[in-house]
């Protein structure tokens, strides 16, 4: 072996060791193995077949002419002789050297086959803890006896290291795939939970509205009937003041009854006290954005998060603040549906404010609002959307006011609108300080 060959092999071994110590991506490990194998042996082509439940599947193939060209994928098809040689090596559990094309043809080529036969070949099984991990196949289509003992010895020396690297990369890939599946499964679960929460909230509102309508319908009907009767008594040629007075007394009685009903409903609602506790508002907002991601992507909207990279602990009700942010993002998405001449952008930001408060803002590049119409947005049953009853923003306003703040809205120039509110930071908020 020449000095140049020894130096080249030492460099290859060093490169292989460094790559294996740093790399855990399966495709890159596969590429590194075939590149080093071709460089150390002078092979003109090579491929690596992974063992999958007893079946060999080629994942990488490389050819060496002036440069090494590597093909990686799960759909690489083997040449007939290559597959037969690899299967024989996998079954025997030991390496195989074929020094001539005639030897290869006699052992593996059918007489009626026109398959290409290399001048020489070397095939090596890679084991990890007595389990077949892969089969490395090398060939030379230019020279016989291209894989002498000294070249094979180097590859065999590296075989265990290759097998360990492949196994580690496989486990890392399996872990990554599992984490990815879990991530998407959790995302689907959160979306399902969110949809259920929305349905529950809608049902609760429907029941509340139905209850109010039922409680008020009787006194209102009685008021209508009694006031009509009073008018009829008064419109007679000779007004009957006594009967009119009786009817008006009924109106007054029903009005009092309606007022008592409203007070009772208001008291029942106010009895459910909101629980305030410390929570990370940035994490809560990121979760809302994740849940809205499917519609964001569907509308081709770019969402920007600013100031959300660190924790920010505030005092409040986490679910209610998420409800507010979700409602603001939903309104922004609705405002962007008709925008076609400019980018659709939603910006959600967090910034420190004076004292120990943090400002949360949601802005969009939509059509904006008319100047002077800011106060109208927060009035119940005022809406510009055809399928909305106009209580989303009033509910948001009430939630923020319950947190000791106010919901602010401002039109942006040249277009768009920004909603913002403040929250009190928790006393122990080291990350935000």
Q: Over range 309-337, report the average pLDDT.
A: 90
Q: Which two tokens stand for residue 213?
A: 């309508």
Decide if pLDDT at 213 tops 70: yes
Q: Is there a domain that residue 181 lies in?
A: no
The pLDDT value given to residue 389:
47
What tokens appear for 236 in the block? Answer: 């007679």
Residues 160 and 33 placed together within one structural domain of the fold:
yes
My answer on whether 166 and 239 are in the same domain is no
CB within 8 Å of 310: residues ≥ 6 apart: 282, 431, 432
Question: Cα–Cα distance between 231 and 251 in angstroms, integer?
Answer: 12
| Same domain? 262 vs 290 | no
Q: Are residues 136 and 158 in the same domain?
A: yes
For 261-299, letters b (16+ CB in 10 Å) and e give: beeeeeeeeeeeeeebeebbbbebbebbbebbeeebeee
420 shares a domain with 293: yes
Nearest residue to 142 (alpha-carbon basis) of 64, 60, 33: 64
CATH of the domain at 61: 3.30.450.40
| Domain finish residue from 253, 271, 289 | 271
pLDDT above 80 (res 8): no
The count of domains in the chain is 3
Instruction: Report, as an integer, the average pLDDT of 85-106.
Output: 90
Residue 100: what pLDDT?
Answer: 92
What pLDDT is stored for residue 344 in this prediction? 93
**CA 280, CA 265: separation in Å to the nearest integer?**
34
Rounded to whole angstroms, how far apart are CA atoms 134 and 183? Answer: 30
Residue 182 lies in a domain: no
Higher-pLDDT residue of 240, 17 = 240
- Shared domain for 220 and 85, answered yes or no, is no
**Same domain flag for 215 and 108:** no
CA distance 175 to 183: 12
CATH number of the domain within which 366 lies: 3.30.565.10
Rounded Cα gap, residues 220 and 226, in angstroms: 10
Supply the pLDDT for residue 382: 52
Element (H, E) at 28: helix 26-41
User: Which one of 122, 146, 176 terminates a domain?
Assistant: 176
* Other C-beta atoms lying within 10 Å of the C-beta of residue 326: 22
Q: Which domain holds residue 325?
A: 277-424
Q: Say yes or no: 298 and 257 in one domain.
A: no
**What average pLDDT does range 296-310 have in this prediction?**
90
In a domain, 210, yes or no: yes
Residue 369 vs residue 194, higher pLDDT: 369
Looking at the structure, tell me whether residues 227 and 115 fall in a common domain. no
pLDDT of 199 higher than 80: no
Note whether 136 and 20 are same-domain residues: yes
Same domain assignment for residues 15 and 137: yes
| Mean pLDDT value across the chain | 82
DSSP per residue, 82-134: HHHHHHHHHHHTS-EEE-SHHHHHHHH--TT------SEEEEEEEEETTEEEE
Beta strand 345-353 pairing with 302-306: parallel
What pLDDT is attached to residue 209?
75
* pLDDT tens-digit series, residues 98-123: 999 898 888 887 655 677 889 999 99
pLDDT in tens, 141-160: 889 999 999 888 888 888 88
């Amino acid at each position: 072996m020449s000095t140049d060959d020894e130096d080249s092999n030492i460099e290859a071994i060093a490169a292989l060791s460094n790559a294996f110590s740093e790399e855990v991506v399966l495709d890159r490990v596969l590429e590194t193995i075939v590149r080093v194998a071709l460089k150390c042996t002078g092979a003109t082509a090579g491929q690596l077949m992974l063992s999958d439940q007893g079946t060999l599947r080629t994942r990488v193939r490389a050819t060496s002419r002036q440069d090494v060209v590597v093909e990686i994928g799960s759909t690489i098809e083997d040449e007939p002789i290559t597959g037969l040689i690899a299967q024989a090596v996998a079954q025997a559990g030991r390496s195989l050297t074929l020094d001539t094309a005639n030897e290869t043809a006699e052992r593996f080529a059918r007489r009626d086959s026109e398959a290409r036969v290399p001048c020489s070949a070397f095939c090596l099984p890679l084991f990890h803890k007595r389990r077949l991990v892969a089969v490395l196949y090398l060939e030379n289509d230019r020279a016989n006896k291209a894989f002498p003992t000294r070249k094979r010895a180097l590859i065999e020396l590296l075989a265990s290291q290759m097998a360990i690297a492949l196994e580690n990369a496989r486990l890392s890939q399996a872990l990554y795939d599992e984490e990815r599946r879990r991530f998407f499964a959790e995302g689907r679960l959160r979306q399902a939970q969110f949809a259920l929460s929305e349905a529950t909230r809608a049902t609760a509102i429907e029941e509340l509205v139905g209850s109010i309508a039922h409680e008020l319908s009787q006194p209102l009907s009685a008021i209508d009937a009694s006031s009509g009767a009073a008018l009829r008594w008064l419109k007679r040629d000779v007004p009957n003041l006594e009967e009119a007075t009786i009817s008006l007394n009924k109106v007054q009685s029903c009005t009092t009854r309606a007022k008592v009903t409203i007070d009772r409903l208001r008291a029942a609602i106010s009895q459910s006290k909101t629980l305030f506790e410390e929570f990370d508002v940035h994490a809560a907002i990121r979760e809302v954005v994740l849940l809205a991601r499917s519609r964001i992507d569907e509308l081709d909207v770019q969402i920007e998060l600013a100031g959300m990279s660190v924790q920010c602990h505030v005092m409040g009700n986490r679910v209610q603040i998420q409800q507010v942010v979700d409602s603001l993002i939903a309104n922004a998405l609705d405002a962007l549906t008709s925008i076609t001449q400019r980018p659709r952008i939603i910006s959600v930001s967090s910034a420190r404010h004076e004292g120990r408060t943090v400002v949360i803002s949601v802005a969009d590049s939509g059509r904006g609002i008319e100047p002077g119409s800011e106060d109208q947005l927060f009035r119940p049953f005022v809406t510009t959307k055809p399928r909305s009853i106009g209580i989303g923003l009033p509910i948001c306003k009430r939630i923020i006011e319950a947190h000791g703040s106010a919901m602010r809205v401002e039109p942006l120039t040249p277009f768009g609108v920004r909603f913002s509110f403040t929250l009190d930071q928790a006393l122990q908020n080291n990350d935000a300080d």
